[in-house]
């Protein structure tokens, strides 16, 4: 077994990395020229990735994985820091992108939609669930009835890396959940099909896009993830802290959460009118 395979195996069996993470390790580490690359070889690897059209965000995924491997290969047990002298790569500067969100009018149209039929009702419940909790679509589709605490307005989510978290939901969502789940068994998926199988992400995406167009607007880019962006933006607009938002979104670092904090010019103008030192003079 070579060093790269050993690294991946240890991450799988000693750190319980998820199958998706293991798949990412295999993909990213295949770009290494050898098991013990020099700093020059690492820079040439990044240059080749960029010349082949890889975006900064994608290259940074490779860089994080490669740096993790290089730190492990150096024999250091602690976190990588200033005291480490093994080769490493600096992350590329990523362009600032305003993440797509639903507008206030679109949110109102989605919330006030009155579905007809069981399928439409469950689709509408999914839309409300995503808007109210800010969870990932994969987390929502994995929620079972037993995970929903209607009394305390809490739901347990299985997040990335097998990390569970409990997030609150509103009284308004509780009404919808109660109507939908009162006859369901504890281990039943909340967002199941008519035959009890789990709803697939691709099917959910098509259905949500069709609903948006039915309501008279074009769905934003990255439609299902836009619910998460919308939740985060409105959380901050209404006075929520970035630290609380980090816990709610299930981010391991605050840096991840800050990507969701791209307030609009109107938001900044509204805040400035309240805090300006000249306003009260």
Summarize pLDDT for 72-100 with one digit per residue, the tens: 999 887 788 877 889 999 999 988 777 88
Q: What is the pLDDT of residue 247?
A: 86
Respond yes or no: is residue 136 known to be catalytic.
Answer: yes
Which residue in the list 50, 86, 88, 225 is annotated as catalytic? Answer: 225
At the second CATH level, the architecture of 104-271 is Orthogonal Bundle (1.10)
Respond yes or no: is residue 160 known to be catalytic.
Answer: yes
Picking from 65, 36, 25, 32, the residue whose alpha carbon sits closest to that of residue 46 is 32
Which residue in the list 136, 144, 229, 235 is annotated as catalytic? Answer: 136
Respond yes or no: is residue 71 known to be catalytic.
Answer: no
Q: What is the pLDDT of residue 270?
A: 63
Percentages of the chain per state (helix, strand, coil), in multiples of 5: 55, 5, 40
Which residue in the list 11, 228, 229, 235 is annotated as catalytic? Answer: 228
Summarize pLDDT for 168-188 with one digit per residue, the tens: 999 999 999 999 998 889 899
Which residue in the list 86, 120, 251, 259 is annotated as catalytic? Answer: 251
Which residue in the list 160, 165, 174, 259 is annotated as catalytic? Answer: 160
Nearest-5° Cα angle at 244, 243 to 246: 65
Query: pTM surpassing 0.85?
Result: no
Respond yes or no: is residue 225 known to be catalytic.
Answer: yes
How is the chain split into domains, by residue range?
Answer: 3-73, 104-271
Summarize pLDDT for 105-139 with one digit per residue, the tens: 999 999 999 999 999 999 999 999 999 999 999 99
């Amino acid at each position: 077994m070579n060093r790269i395979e050993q690294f991946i195996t240890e991450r799988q069996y000693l750190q319980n990395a998820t199958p998706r993470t293991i798949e990412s390790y295999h993909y990213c580490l295949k770009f290494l020229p050898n098991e013990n690359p020099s700093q020059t070889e690492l820079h040439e690897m990044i240059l080749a990735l960029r010349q082949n059209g890889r975006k900064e965000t994608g290259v940074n995924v490779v860089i994080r994985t490669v740096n993790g491997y290089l730190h492990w290969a150096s024999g250091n047990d602690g976190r990588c820091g200033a005291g480490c002298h093994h080769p490493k790569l600096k992350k590329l500067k990523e362009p600032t992108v305003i993440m797509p969100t639903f507008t206030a009018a679109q949110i109102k149209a989605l919330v006030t939609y009155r579905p007809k039929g069981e399928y439409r009702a469950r689709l509408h419940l999914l839309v409300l669930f995503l808007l109210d909790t800010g969870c990932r679509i994969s987390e929502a589709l994995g929620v079972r009835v037993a995970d929903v605490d209607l009394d305390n307005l809490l739901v347990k989510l299985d997040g990335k890396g097998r990390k569970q978290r409990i997030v609150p939901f509103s009284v308004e969502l509780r009404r919808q959940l109660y109507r939908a789940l009162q006859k369901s068994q504890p281990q039943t998926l909340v967002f199941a099909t008519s035959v009890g199988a789990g709803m697939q992400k691709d099917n959910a995406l098509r259905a949500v896009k069709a609903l948006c167009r039915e309501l008279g607007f074009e769905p934003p880019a990255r439609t299902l993830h836009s619910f998460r962006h919308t939740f985060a933006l409105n959380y901050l607009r209404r006075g929520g802290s970035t630290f609380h938002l980090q816990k709610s979104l299930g981010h391991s670092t605050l840096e991840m959460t800050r990507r969701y904090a791209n307030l609009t010019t109107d938001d900044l103008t509204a805040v400035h009118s309240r805090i300006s030192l000249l306003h009260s003079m």
